[in-house]
Amino acid sequence: KYYPPDFDPAKIPKLKLPKDRQYVVRLMAPFNMRCKTCGEYIYKGKKFNARKETVQNEAYLGLPIFRFYIKCTRCLAEITFKTDPENTDYTMEHGATRNFQAEKLLEEEEKRLQKEREEEELNNPMKVLENRTKDSKLEMEVLENLQELKELNQCQANVDFEAMLKQYKELEEEQRHKEQE
């Protein structure tokens, strides 16, 4: 590009954009959902041209929360969802319902089992002892397996070929001396 000698970049006016500006982005549906107006299923991974905006007055630990607007593939009804950085997920706002999600149910089940175990341990001191012994046995087994793997790797890694060749040559020389004697 040509810049004339009297060019002054300070004279170029600054572009002032609003804070709640919407951008058009190409994204994939982050979860399975079903449109509330027509009942169309939208599967995870379906590509959309979406409008993205920063949600005003909402942030999580300094991270901005974004809202996405997509249109149903059949009836063109607007569906909105936003990011949920607290749970590393997305939350459905309106226009559709979120379908079954197995990972979330698994996490909830694990939390429930952990809570039950803690409550049981509070009431029963023998259960605390049993759980501790189970945990320590499991930990010992894991450590033994890890130690075995380390030993195997060490045996394979510590092969000194030079020493082996030297030892082989010494054995050959000893055999020659014996033969000569």
SS3 85: coil
Q: How many CA atoms lie within 13 A of 154 on its CB side?
A: 6
25: left (phi over 0), alpha (psi -120 to 50) or beta: beta
Burial of residue 68 (CB within 10 Å: 0-12, 13-18, 19+) is buried
Average pLDDT of every residue of the chain: 90
| Per-residue pLDDT, 16 | 87
Per-residue tokens: 147: 């130690």
Q: What is the pTM of this model?
A: 0.55
Q: DSSP state, 31?
A: S
Position with higher pLDDT, 125 vs 86: 86
Q: Among 66, 100, 99, 101, which Cα is nearest to 84's?
A: 66
Share of the chain above pLDDT 70, in %: 98
Contact between 79 and 61 (Cβ < 8 Å): no
Q: By mean pLDDT, which of 2-6, 118-122, 142-146 is the weakest?
A: 118-122
Q: Count other C-beta atoms under 10 Å from residue 96's C-beta.
A: 26
